[in-house]
């Protein structure tokens, strides 16, 4: 079953994920988690109703009480699940994928993630399909998560002045509720693509790709806005645009969030970042008395390290930002208001916050298809044997003025290169050299 990915269950509907399979996944999840109460939320795709009905029927057949919180963002589901003490939960979503996809993101008690090995155990239960119905079928009820979540946000959303923010909801679920969610804040929201449309007619709901933020970047400048934000399909990723129309890299945003929390009185704490993050992140965190822990890419690894270290925040280049305040899970609302509070305190523009942090030049992520991932990694280990090597995720090699990380795709024979150097000229030279080794050219 190719729909069982590294971090979630996702595939084409109905070709790969149909009603019967969703029903069996519900039964398997009920048995695996042993949950009495199961929270279910969803984004707003065409296949939502079919999958919701099939999944919850499977859960209820196994005696689980289902609580439907409706169409929400994934961070709202995480907050509500942990705050209400549910045994487990699931978000029906395909995240940033095109509209013909859908799937399930499961989480455990306390909004803890479900790692790949647990997903494979659920997969095995689905494939065996040997379920015994519960003697008493579970019921289903609904719950409005927004009043409690709005009170939660009030603790961080107080600002001294108003800010004009262009928000690109990407025709996805957040457009259904953001204006209401932010109604009592000092945000002057300029909405873009708030109309829900699961065909995503304007662009795919993946803000990491700059072609998907092109309209937003132009609109921020045209509106004279303080900043812009782009959300993905289920609202657990956010990318920021400064007032000049420049898109902020995820690692720099993570750094800003950490500094913002410290400025707000958090003291010294640990920050978890993915291993592709700029060298500047660790340098500047340490200059401010903060510790930095590097992690493998992926939310299960980030969240696990954050819990182990009691880290206050964490982040990835992909636009996922994690907060202890949200049970060590993603929260795009907290990310937004943390940056706005920094602007409030410093009375400056977002570009002015960012500029001092851009110490190095990055290549961006470059994919290369290879015949053998392991053979290519070994070739890199040998070719750059004089560098300081780490295998946290793939291969990282460090030199005094430059470094690179190469990590394999979870699903394809691809290697992903991220490289950084002190100058653009050196970055381009080193990038081309590493790529020549990867591609054996």
* Active-site entry in 42, 47, 73, 95: 95
Q: Which residues contact 198 (CB under 8 A, 6 or more apart)?
A: 44, 45, 46, 99, 171
Token pair 């691809």: residue: 414
Give the integer Cα–Cα distance in Å for 294 and 149: 30
Give the integer Cα–Cα distance in Å for 81 and 60: 18
In angstroms, the Cα distances linking 374 to 53, 214, 279, 378, 387 are 43, 37, 26, 6, 19
Please say if 390 is a catalytic residue: no
φ, ψ at 436 (rounded to 5°):
-65, -35
Q: Which residues contact 275 (CB under 8 A, 6 or more apart)?
A: 294, 295, 296, 297, 390, 392, 393, 396, 405, 407
The closest of 173, 115, 91 to 298, measured between CA atoms, is 115
Q: Which residues contact 155 (CB under 8 A, 6 or more apart)?
A: none
In angstroms, the Cα distances linking 40 to 74, 138, 294, 367, 381 are 10, 14, 32, 35, 45
CA dihedral 84, 87, 91, 95 (to 10 degrees): 100
The answer to whether the Cα torsion of 105, 209, 76, 298 is positive or negative is positive
Contact 274, 242 (CB under 8 A): no
Active-site amino acid positions = 95
């Amino acid at each position: 079953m190719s729909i069982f990915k590294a971090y979630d269950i996702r595939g084409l509907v109905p070709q790969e994920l149909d009603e019967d399979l969703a029903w069996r996944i519900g039964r398997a999840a009920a048995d695996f988690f042993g949950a009495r109460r199961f929270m279910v939320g969803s984004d707003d795709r065409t296949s939502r109703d079919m999958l919701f009905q099939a999944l919850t029927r499977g859960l209820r057949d196994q005696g689980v009480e289902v609580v439907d919180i409706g169409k929400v963002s994934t961070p709202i589901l995480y907050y509500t699940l942990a705050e209400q003490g549910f045994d487990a939960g699931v978000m029906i979503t395909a995240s940033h994928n095109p509209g013909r996809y859908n799937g399930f993101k499961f989480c455990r008690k306390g909004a803890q993630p479900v790692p790949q090995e647990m997903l494979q155990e659920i997969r095995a239960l689905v494939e065996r399909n040997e379920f015994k119905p519960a003697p008493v079928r579970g019921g289903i009820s609904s719950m409005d998560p927004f009043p409690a979540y709005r009170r939660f946000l009030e603790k961080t959303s107080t600002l001294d002045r108003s800010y004009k923010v262009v928000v690109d909801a990407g025709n996805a679920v957040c457009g259904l509720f953001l204006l209401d969610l932010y109604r009592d804040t000092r945000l002057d929201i300029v909405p873009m693509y708030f109309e829900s449309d699961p065909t995503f007619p304007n662009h795919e709901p993946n803000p990491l790709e700059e072609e998907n933020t092109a309209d937003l970047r132009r609109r921020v400048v045209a509106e004279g806005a303080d900043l812009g934000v782009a959300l993905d399909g289920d609202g657990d990723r956010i990318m920021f645009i400064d007032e000049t129309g420049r898109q902020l890299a995820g690692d720099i945003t993570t750094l800003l969030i950490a500094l913002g929390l410290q400025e707000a009185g958090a003291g010294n704490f640990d920050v978890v970042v993915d291993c592709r993050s700029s060298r500047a992140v660790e340098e500047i965190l340490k200059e401010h008395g903060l510790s930095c822990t590097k992690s493998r890419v992926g939310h299960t690894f980030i969240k696990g390290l954050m819990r182990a270290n009691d880290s206050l925040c964490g982040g990835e280049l992909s636009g996922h930002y994690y907060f202890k305040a949200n049970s060590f899970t993603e929260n795009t609302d907290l990310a937004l208001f943390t940056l706005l509070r920094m602007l409030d305190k410093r009375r400056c523009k977002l570009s002015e916050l960012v500029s001092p942090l851009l110490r190095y030049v990055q290549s961006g992520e470059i994919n290369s298809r290879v015949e053998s991932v392991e053979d290519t990694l070994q070739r890199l280990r040998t070719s750059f044997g004089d560098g300081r090597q780490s295998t946290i995720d793939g291969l990282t090699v460090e030199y005094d003025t430059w470094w690179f990380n190469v990590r394999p795709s979870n699903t394809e024979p691809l290697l992903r290169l991220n490289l950084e150097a002190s100058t653009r000229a050196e970055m381009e030279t080193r990038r081309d050299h590493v790529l020549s080794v990867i591609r054996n050219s």
